Structure 1
Amino acid sequence: MPNQLDTTDGPASASGAAGAAGAAGANRFERRRARTRQALIAAARQILAETGETSASIQEIAARADVGFGTFYNHFETKNDLFDAAVADALEEYGQLLDSVTERIDDPATVFAASVRLTLRLAASHPEITQILRLRGLPHINAATGLGPRALRDLEIGRASGRFTFDDPLVALSAVGGALIGLLQLNSTRDLGAGAGEHMAEMILRMLGLPADEAHEIATRPLPDLP
């Protein structure tokens, strides 16, 4: 009579092993697919940061990503879809980076001031992200990912706490986003110093309702370090 261990050699055991192998193969396929998609997005990000244009051919994008031409269509229907994904990817990285630096700051006014000033620093340390923000960020201010929802979150927290005074959060978001992109545009032609970031942060805080003296004090506080 077979003992208890003998049952592991039966059909159920073989079926389980086959299932595990199939799952592992599927996981490897999904990882390869994700890597290929990210390679295409990275290539598009590089092109946007270098030129701000979307005129590169699919062949050029695929070659830069080191993938086959036909592979492109396994991930994106059009070039516009890819470039939209590239902008969203860069702005999401930008948002996550600022979140990680300001996550221990409780005051929404201080978060806003730090985010503005750190964005100017990012122009030197993370030029690809800030180039894409400068050249392609304006249409994405109200997007579902990246800079917009994080800034809107902080604006609404600030208004609920009484720190900010404005009627329409989306109008406030447009004003803040436009000011930030304008600062990056100016920096691309004049190589602004840290003082410009402080000045812009102070003006934004005053626009959001803080008194002038307090806005100045918050905008000139020591900044947290970028990773």
Structure 2
Amino acid sequence: MTADHFDPTAEHHVPDPERDTTLLLDGFFEHLGATLRSHALPAELLDAVRERHSDLMTTNLSSAVDDMSHQHLRTTLALVAAFEVLRPALGSTAAVDAVRRAYVEPLAPAVRAATRAVLDESEDPFRAMVDMARAREQHFYGAGFEFRHPVDDDRRYHSDVHRCFYQEVLAANSASELGPVLCAFDQSWIEAIDPERHGFRFERASTIALGGTHCPFHFNRES
């Protein structure tokens, strides 16, 4: 599958939540099908996941506060549906791991490579990374998330998430244990940052899903 739509190297790239979510879910369900085969589980379980996803969307639709949160709802409830269907066969721990891999692995190489390309080709990698972070805050996350910026200057960009729509949806559907799965997707772009090469460091000490009061996304110049 292609991940060209996730390429931030494109000129005037602006995140498209609906397009990006559809691409993400296509990869998720494809990977999930492979997981069923690897565990010798019935292929029909994939249909059960899709059906459960549809049901969850119907019952949770009122929680979507804007168009962007509707897309986040699609993503989060796909994970919940897969977890509910896989848990009886695999157990909770293995089911969480299967959901994490299906969510992260399909697009991780493309996201990592695209982010690395932006940073490598930029005259100011720190500024390029901050610009990408701002674009996603403005055009991808929406009203279901609350961002605060206690520090924002030429050497530091600290973006703290104090409200996470993902975690709210998971809690409402008794699936808070899937929170770290959603956080894990960020490793795809985090691993593209080379502090020595790019002149800045990223730090995220904790997340709401891991019990923190907020999710700190902190970018700091080193040179």
For the criterion TM > 0.5, the same-fold answer is: no
Q: Which has the higher contact order (CA 8 A, sep 6+)?
A: 2
Q: Which one has the bigger strand percentage?
A: 2
Q: Which has the larger radius of gyration?
A: 1
Q: TM-score, normalised by structure 2?
A: 0.35
Q: Which one has the bigger helix percentage?
A: 1
Q: TM-score, normalised by structure 1?
A: 0.34
